């Protein structure tokens, strides 16, 4: 089976790169919540990480800059938040950053481990935090895109909720509410 390339978007459709989607999502979160901040290696670089943070420091100000190579990132997060972060997204995949996540999240917070990662999670101090993974396989993902593009698989029935990007927080609340019976939530601009 050959790997198909994505078909061009239909006229009027909006297509974003992964970095562009991250930038737009973080911009929306920063605009609507005063207590949201972005931490990671390279976020203080005004060019941004692959463009995913470009312009955010200029737009919202950089109240804190944590350089994980030069200081204790867990200690700084605890100092800044007083209790740990509501949501920690670990996308670097290094043993060190993965192992730090249980110590950065607040009681009953959420940790997203993105991609492939190694390390051991000390969950003793994670106090009711929810951990989940997100991974796009370089093998299965192209095949899934091809099957969907060929209309061999009907995925419309999987979408249970749709939200605009401005309602991102409501989409997260819906995803976390079993009574809403969420399966797949689509967020569009």
What is the per-residue pLDDT for 103? 92
What is the per-residue pLDDT for 5? 40
CB neighbours of residue 47 within 10 Å: 10
- Angle in degrees, CA 44, 50, 54, rounded to 5: 50
Per-10-residue mean pLDDT of the chain, 189 residues long, equals 42 65 78 70 56 74 72 88 86 82 90 81 84 75 77 79 88 86 84
What is the per-residue pLDDT for 15? 65
CB neighbours of residue 121 within 10 Å: 16
């Amino acid at each position: 089976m050959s790997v198909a390339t994505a078909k061009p978007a239909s006229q009027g459709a909006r297509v974003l790169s992964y970095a562009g989607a991250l930038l737009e999502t973080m911009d929306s979160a920063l605009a609507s919540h005063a207590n949201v901040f972005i931490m990671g290696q390279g976020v203080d670089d005004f060019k941004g990480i692959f463009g995913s943070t470009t312009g955010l420091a200029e737009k919202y100000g950089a109240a804190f800059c944590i350089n994980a190579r030069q200081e204790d990132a867990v200690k700084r997060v605890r100092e800044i938040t007083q209790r740990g972060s509501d949501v920690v997204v670990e996308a670097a995949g290094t043993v060190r950053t993965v192992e730090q996540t249980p110590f950065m999240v607040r009681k009953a917070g959420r940790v997203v481990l993105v991609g492939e990662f190694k390390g051991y999670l000390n969950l003793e101090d994670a106090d009711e935090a929810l951990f989940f993974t997100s991974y796009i396989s370089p093998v299965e993902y192209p095949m899934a895109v091809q099957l969907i593009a060929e209309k061999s698989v009907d995925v419309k029935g999987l979408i249970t909720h749709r939200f605009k990007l401005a309602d991102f927080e409501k989409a997260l609340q819906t995803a976390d509410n079993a009574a809403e019976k969420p399966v797949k939530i689509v967020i569009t601009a």
